[in-house]
Structures are given as C-alpha cells and as structure tokens.
C-alpha cells in the first residue's frame, strides 16, 4: 500500500523514489523492503511526507484525498468556526440560459469558454469591454454566489473554474502572477497551480475553482475590487452610471 502510493506521488512530482530515499539517508536495502510490503517508521514517514509536500496520513491512505501540512497546522485554529460555515453551504442552483448569457457578457467571455474544461487561458470575447454591462450589478452578486456554492455537478465545477481563471488573468495584469499569489499563506498553492496549468492534482480536492473565501482573500491581499477581478474595469459603478445617464 505505502510503496504504490509513494511511487505514484514521486511520478507526479517527477522525482525518483530511490533518489528521494537516498536524499533522506535511507539505505537501498530498506527501500527494497518497502517495495516488498514493509512500511517506514514514523520518523522516516514524516520526513518523506515533508519532502513530497503531503501528509504522512496521505502516504498511508488508499484514498486520493490529501491534507497538506500547512492545512494541518491551521486546522485546530479553525475547527470551532466550522459548524457555522457548514450550515451556510448550499448546492448550486440551476442557472438559466439567460443568466449564463448575462454572466458571459459581464465577464467578457464566450459561452464556449465558460462551459469548456479544456480552455485554461482566458481570452476576452470582445477587445473593448462594453461598460454598460457593469450597470447590471445583480450579475456580480450572482457570480459571487456561484463561487460560494458547492460544485456538485460537472457544469457547476467547470463554471467556477473558468470564472476563477478570469479573476487570475485580471490580477496578473496588475502584477499579481502565480508566484506572488502563492506567497499568500491563506491561498492553496496546489489549487492555484491547477488553475494556472490545467494539470489535475493527485489530491482531487484541489481540482476546483476559487470559492468565495478565496475571492475574499484575494480582495484583501491585492486591494483590487470584485468588479475589477471579474471585468478588468477599475471605474466605479457610480462613475459609469453618471457618465452614461448624463449622455442621454
């Protein structure tokens, strides 16, 4: 059990199992015992887990779920607040075709992009953003609600992922690239890596879009507004509304 999981993680990270063992001063004979069904002692297991950036429990578990070391350190600080958070979670509601069109217009993306699990790079649908879309503030609330919902269908998961990539694209325009955002301790580097590259992680819980809590962290970390993160437009709703109504 341990050996298969160990080899699988090493393959994902493009390292050799025996090379990692040698790096940790583990003898070839001991590695052979692992291959034949033996498992490392607790101290060695924790060293391997730290080197591969996974938990010791994950190395010994057949399930493809991982709790990172950083998450584990923060878990006890958050546990008392979890019951209230669980109560507020809800499944994604049905989104009508009209709503999806309005969302696509608001974020300046094609319907194909929002529905595609293959498109990683965001390319604006129109070269010039139609600023009148910003007057539809209800759509912005709908988008943030979507990110706060549980992605319990492929459609919802894909929509959350693509909306997240739009956010990351606009933040990159402000200099907040993957490296800078990964420096934020409140964001999952594994999830960011998945969103940037499209390469799914062994830990399937990382293969999702940003949730509302992530969006809130990005807002505080970058200082950028929710409107800007989804549209790339910095002008406020009030400024745009005043300009457009004054032209009439």
In a domain, 22, yes or no: yes
Do 127 and 222 reside in the same domain of the chain? Answer: yes
By residue range, what is the domain housing residue 188?
Answer: 97-246
Residue 89 in domain: no
Residues 159, 117 share a domain = yes
Residue 183 domain-assigned (yes or no): yes
Residue 165 lies in a domain: yes
**Structural domains counted in the chain:** 2
Token duo for residue 49: 């887990």
Q: Cα separation of 233 and 220, whole Å?
A: 18
Which backbone phi and psi does 179 adopt, to 5 degrees? -60, -45
Q: In this structure, are 56 and 176 located in the same domain?
A: no
Query: Do 102 and 205 sit in the same domain of this protein?
Result: yes
Residue 105 and residue 7 share a domain:
no
Sign of the Cα torsion 160, 166, 167, 168 reads positive
Distance CA 215, CA 77 (A): 21
pTM score of the predicted model: 0.64
Does 28 reside within a domain?
Answer: yes
Last residue of a domain, one of 31, 53, 81: 81
* 117 and 213 co-located in one domain: yes
Per-residue pLDDT of the chain (248 residues; tens, 9 = 90+): 788 888 988 998 899 999 999 999 999 999 998 988 888 888 898 899 888 888 777 787 755 445 555 555 555 555 555 555 555 556 666 788 999 999 999 999 999 999 998 888 999 999 999 888 888 888 999 999 899 888 778 899 999 999 999 999 999 999 999 999 999 988 988 899 999 999 887 778 788 999 988 999 999 999 999 999 999 998 766 676 666 666 55
Residue indicated by tokens 């962290």: 217
3-class DSSP string for 168-215? HHHHHHCCCCHHHHHCCCCCCHHHHHHHHHCCCCCCHHHCCCCCHHHH
């Amino acid at each position: 059990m341990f050996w298969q999981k160990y080899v699988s993680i090493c393959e994902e990270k493009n390292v050799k199992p025996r090379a990692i063992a040698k790096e940790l001063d583990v003898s070839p004979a001991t590695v052979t015992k692992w291959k034949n069904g033996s498992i490392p002692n607790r101290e060695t297991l924790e060293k391997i887990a730290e080197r591969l950036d996974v938990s010791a429990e994950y190395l010994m578990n057949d399930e493809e779920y991982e709790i990172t070391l950083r998450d584990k350190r923060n878990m006890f600080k958050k546990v008392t607040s979890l019951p209230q958070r669980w109560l507020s979670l809800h499944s994604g509601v049905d989104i009508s075709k009209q709503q999806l069109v309005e969302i696509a217009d608001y974020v300046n993306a094609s319907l194909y992009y929002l529905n595609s699990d293959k498109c990683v790079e965001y390319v604006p649908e129109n070269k010039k953003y139609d600023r009148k879309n910003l007057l539809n503030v209800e759509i912005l609330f709908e988008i943030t609600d979507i990110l706060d919902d549980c992605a319990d269908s492929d459609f919802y998961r894909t929509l959350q992922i693509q909306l997240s990539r739009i956010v990351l694209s606009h933040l990159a325009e402000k200099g907040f690239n993957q490296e800078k955002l990964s420096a934020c301790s409140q964001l999952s580097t594994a999830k960011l890596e998945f969103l940037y590259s499209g390469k799914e992680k062994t830990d399937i819980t990382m293969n999702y879009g940003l949730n509302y809590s992530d969006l809130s962290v990005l807002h505080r970390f970058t200082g950028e507004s929710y409107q800007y993160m989804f549209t790339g437009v910095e002008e406020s709703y009030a400024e745009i509304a005043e300009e457009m109504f004054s032209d009439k």
